[in-house]
Amino acid sequence: MKNIVLKACSLVIAVLLTVILLFAAPGTYEHPLATIVNKVNLIRSTSPPRIIFVGGSEVLVGINSEMIHRRFGRAVVNMAVYGGFGISDMLHLIEPHVGKGDIIVIIPEYGVLKGDFDSDDFSNKWIFLQSPKYAFEKIYCLNGKLEFLVGDISDLLQCKIEGMWGELWKGKNPFIDGAAAYARRSNRFGDLMKNWEFVPAEKLAGRGRLLRPDPIKPVIIRTLNDFYFAAAKRDAAVYLSFSGFPVGEYELNRAVIESMADQLRKSLRFPVLGSPADTIFPYEYFSNTIYHLRFEGRDRRTAILAGSMEKVKIQPSGANGRR
């Protein structure tokens, strides 16, 4: 009996050590949301002063960071991954890495502004991977999701084992941290370099969806202002800008969108760049969803955003003017 107990304890210890080693060691994950690992590594490895973009997949595919880099002469970090990461948890991951002279531009999708800013059930595990204590307390305990924690940890381990094994099978290095496809799909700034296929307007996901007319929740305003105050202590600047959006969807939701913009201008303690009408485009500039710009739309939107940044006196690094 004693031998059976010892063997069982040894097995449990071996499993726990394996789990710890898998989490602690760098490695490849077979999951697109593991891109958050690459993005956190990217912001860690670049030095201020930088321009840092925060948002969902609309920003991931809809910003030409190379253009921003050339225009302002700064390192650019596109931290966007997926709208389901929300904004508040992304700001938590970014805040420790904000430095003197950084410019953070937050671009929430309209649907995210109408939510609660938190990560969804698909994203929670990846926030846990990057910040276990924060995610355990805020996501799993405070939000009542503790019952999903073991399953989420198991999913992370499975993604890592599959990813590392897949890289080994291809004769590649399995200890490159992050998503398996990141290096071949992203540029050095973190932009997803995929020019989406043309999709007829009637087939765009999300088309015709009405935004709720209620105001932006106070918790969202508080989250944004709290981040601004934290960044200001590090001598960094924060701005908010608006999503690229199809003209038809803007017209359908014009009153709600303009009301949101007005609320943001009145409630935020930091500047808002431009207006929603600045970045509305024809349907043919979008592909697969009403938030994903193709390259032509991405470049036009980026030029408009750069112009808005210059209007508030954001200038090339080393020039006189705002950081």
Higher pLDDT, 205 or 228: 228
Say if residue 26's pLDDT is above 70.
yes
Cβ neighbours of residue 21 under 8 Å, at least 6 residues apart?
none
Residue-wise pLDDT tens digits, 66-97 = 999 999 999 999 999 988 888 999 999 999 99
On average, the pLDDT of the chain sits at 88
User: pLDDT value at position 196?
Assistant: 75
Say if residue 320's pLDDT is above 50.
no
Higher pLDDT, 209 or 278: 278
Higher pLDDT, 271 or 167: 271
Residue-wise pLDDT tens digits, 188-200 = 999 998 877 777 8
Q: State CA 95 to chain mean position distance.
A: 13
User: pLDDT value at position 20?
Assistant: 59
Angle at 48 between CA 44 and CA 50, to 5 degrees: 95
At 273, the amino acid letter reads L
- Measured CA to CA, the distance from residue 181 to residue 163 in angstroms comes to 10
At 206, the amino acid letter reads G
| pLDDT tier at 8, thresholds 50, 70, 90 | very low
- Measured CA to CA, the distance from residue 91 to residue 89 in angstroms comes to 5
User: pLDDT value at position 191?
Assistant: 95
Say if residues 297 and 287 touch (Cβ distance below 8 Å): no
Global pTM value: 0.90
| pLDDT tier at 12, thresholds 50, 70, 90 | very low
- Measured CA to CA, the distance from residue 103 to residue 86 in angstroms comes to 20
Beta-strand relationship, 178-179 and 245-246: unpaired
Name the residue among 29, 74, 9, 65 with its Cα closest to residue 237.
74
- Alpha-carbon distance values, 256 to 113, 186, 219, 260 (Å): 11, 34, 19, 6
User: pLDDT value at position 14?
Assistant: 46
Residue-wise pLDDT tens digits, 97-146 = 999 999 999 999 998 888 777 788 888 999 999 999 999 998 898 777 88
Higher pLDDT, 309 or 204: 309
Higher pLDDT, 10 or 307: 307
Say if residues 102 and 230 touch (Cβ distance below 8 Å): no
Higher pLDDT, 182 or 313: 182
Token pair, residue 146, equals 């503790």
Q: What is the mean pLDDT of residues 139-162?
A: 88
User: pLDDT value at position 202?
Assistant: 83
- Alpha-carbon distance values, 85 to 90, 172, 212 (Å): 7, 29, 20
